Each structure stands twice: as C-alpha cells, then as structure tokens.
C-alpha cells in the first residue's frame, strides 16, 4: 500500500461562511467519489485558502460529514502571490491506496480549473 496525494481546488464568489463551507464540502465529495476512497483510507487533509477568505475555517465543512470525525484536518493561508487566483480553496488529501500515482484523479472546479488543467480530469 502506498500513501498518495490527491489535489483539488475550487473558488467561491464571496467571502461568506456558507459559500466557503458548501464549496469545500462539494470539492471533497467529488474528490472522494472520483477516487473511490473512504475516510478510513485518508491519512490527512491539508486545506488552504487565499488570504481574501477569512469568514470561516473550511475544515468545519468536512468535520461534520459522516465518518470524517477522526480524519486529521489542517487549515492554512495560501501564500499571497501577486496575480494569484483569488477566493480559492485548495485541498491536498493524503490517502493510503494500492493505486499508482497516475491513477489519482485531481479535481478542479469553477475558476480553479485554470490552476492545473493538465491534472484536472473532471468537474461533474
């Protein structure tokens, strides 16, 4: 079994708690479904937000999902690079799996599709 990283990102239109939580939950669910993983397989989730998103901790959206109460979550602020994509939430999910690195399906939604079109396989 290997420890693999799965990336995902999305954007929101406003710095509002409800929108941040909904976008985070949507992104996580799509990553989990696309990669056919369950919380028990996940080592940890690193969540970053751009400095313009400070209305809530995105981890709150994950913590309330069924089965996610023991998954380690960490939130942080993305470095403020000039010209970077605003209002962006990023996930790095570390998962135990027998799949190869190239089998990981990275998910980019909304304006975040522009970050890594080479890795993004789906947004539906």
Proportion of the chain above pLDDT 90, given as a percent: 91
Average pLDDT for residues 28-49, to the nearest whole number?
A: 96
Question: Of these residues, 78, 102, 103, 111, which one is catalytic?
Answer: 78
Which is the CATH superfamily of the domain at 2-115?
Answer: RutC-like (3.30.1330.40)
For 59-113, how does the pLDDT look when each residue is reduced to its tens digit (9 = 90+)?
A: 999 999 999 999 999 999 999 999 999 999 999 999 999 999 999 999 999 999 9
Annotated binding site: 7, 90, 108
Best CA proximity match to 103, nearest among 10, 24, 36: 36
How far out from the chain centre does Cα 86 lie? 16
Question: Of these residues, 7, 19, 22, 88, which one is catalytic?
Answer: 7
Give the CA radius of gyration of the chain: 14
- 90 flagged as catalytic: yes
List the structure tokens of 28.
């996580």
What whole-number distance in Å separates Cα of residue 110 and Cα of residue 24? 12
């Amino acid at each position: 079994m290997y420890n693999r990283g799965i990336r995902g990102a999305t954007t929101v239109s406003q710095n509002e708690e409800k929108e941040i939580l909904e976008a985070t939950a949507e992104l996580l669910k799509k990553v989990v479904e696309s990669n056919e993983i369950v919380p028990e397989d996940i080592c940890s989730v690193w969540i970053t937000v751009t400095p313009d998103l400070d209305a809530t901790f995105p981890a709150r959206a994950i913590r309330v999902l069924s089965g996610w109460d023991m998954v380690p979550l960490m939130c942080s602020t993305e470095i403020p690079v000039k010209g970077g994509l605003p209002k962006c939430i990023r996930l790095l999910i570390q998962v135990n799996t027998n799949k190869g690195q190239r089998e990981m399906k990275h998910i980019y939604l909304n304006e975040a599709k522009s970050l890594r079109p080479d890795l993004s396989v789906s947004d539906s």
